Amino acid sequence: MRLHAKVLIVGSGPSGSTAARILAGNKIDVILLEKNLSFVKPCGGGVSPSAFDEFNIPKTLIKKEVHCIRLVSPKGEKIDVELRGGNLAIVKRGEFDKVLRNAAEKEGVKVIEGECIRVIEDTKYKVEASVGGVETQIISEYIIASDGVNSRVRTALGIKPSQSIFTVSELIQGVEPEFCEFWFGSSHAPGFYSWIFPAAEGVSAGTGCVLQGKINSLFKTFKERRGIMSGKQRRVYRIPLWKGDLFNKGKVIFAGDSAGQVLPLTYEGIYYAMKAGELAARAVIEGKAGNYKKMWKDRFQRRFSLMDKLRRYFFKDDASAEKFVALHKRSEVQEASIRLWLRKDRNSLGIKEYIKLFGKFLS
Ligand SMILES: Cc1cc2nc3c(=O)[nH]c(=O)nc-3n(C[C@H](O)[C@H](O)[C@H](O)COP(=O)(O)OP(=O)(O)OC[C@H]3O[C@@H](n4cnc5c(N)ncnc54)[C@H](O)[C@@H]3O)c2cc1C
């Protein structure tokens, strides 16, 4: 079978479906290829509330709202940060992704369940895909690679995989915290954190580190420390570490996790994936794939670089993590963090305030 479209988008997570909807809304012919339409991405599902208005997403998808974030230091100091004036929304990922994909389909996007296997570069791109077991060729002028952290498009074009954090998470029922908890400590999350996030039912608990082999024993240590029982649906998945070195190769644009665009330190990726999808679509509409890099950098480079420096400083050992939590006792640090996490506007005061408050740690 042979199919043609101006743009082929591989992957229908937040980044792919957002790009597809915008392109189709601009009368551009798009195929959205998704290897598993029932896939549920392992994810805490935390989204800043402003994203719902910005992307016109129905607020009925919000399953819970979190009013407070608890930080727990390696030595056990607990700081509660009230999210004054802005709650964190929790969505159910399977449902959220489906609604975004359906919105794209309504705009006229052709959604195909199939797996991208190979990418051949010629005068146009030729993607070989398996669609219901049938070998299919999709010919397009542009490709948007929204196929996540294990991007096949990336490998097919000979680009090295991104460095990443390994995470393990479980759904635990019968626990009903009112807030998101971030637990720091090298005994259970070296270089990262362990978390408890309210989920649609119960909580999502998990931990992360750079070494895959250790992840299950670290998670056991965390559950003992936090005093929680084992849950169900244990999932191991990677979160990319941002490097900021991949935008496009010719007319193939990388958006979201495939480009490592997860905010360092907080490891939020949903909003940034949708935004990258939007910018990738705009670059295609402008007819210049290279414009994507400039648009992304103008909007996010400063924020990502700053957060990456802070991550390297504060997550390097227990003493630094202890300092990070203690700093959040100060109300001005809390304010700056809330702004940076929950408000995404271009001129976010959060960045300037972060530099003022944390600059001395970065020199
Ligand atoms: C445990 C965990 C918790 C997280 N919690 C949060 C959180 O609370 N808040 C937050 O903002 N971020 C969170 N993230 C990060 C967030 O999940 C990602 O950044 C986000 O999903 C990236 O979206 P994306 O569209 O780029 O990729 P994905 O959502 O990964 O979507 C990629 C899609 O591509 C498809 N695909 C892959 N390969 C192929 C192929 N060869 N052919 C066709 N289709 C393919 C996949 O099936 C998938 O549907 C978390 C991540 C993890 C691992």
Q: Which atom of ligand 1 is nearest to the CA of 276?
A: 26
pLDDT tens string 33-59: 999 999 999 999 999 988 999 999 999
44 CA → ligand 1 middle, Å = 11
CA of 322 to the centre of ligand 1 (A): 30
Q: What is the pLDDT of residue 348?
A: 57
357 CA distance to ligand 1 middle (Å):
32
For range 320-335, the mean pLDDT: 91
Residue 128: CB within 6 Å of ligand 1?
Answer: no
Q: What is the pLDDT of residue 356?
A: 74
pLDDT tens digits for 55-112?
999 999 999 999 999 999 999 999 999 988 678 999 999 999 999 999 999 999 999 9
Q: What is the pTM of this model?
A: 0.96
CATH H-level, domain 2-43+93-162+242-302: superfamily: FAD/NAD(P)-binding domain (3.50.50.60)
Q: In angstroms, rounded to a whole number, what is the distance separating the alpha carbons of residues 203 and 299?
A: 33
Mean pLDDT, rounded, of the chain = 92
**pLDDT at residue 143, rounded to an integer:** 98
pLDDT at 181: 95
| Residue 349 predicted with pLDDT over 80 | no
pLDDT, tens digit (0-9, with 9 covering 90-100), for 128-151: 999 999 999 999 999 999 999 999
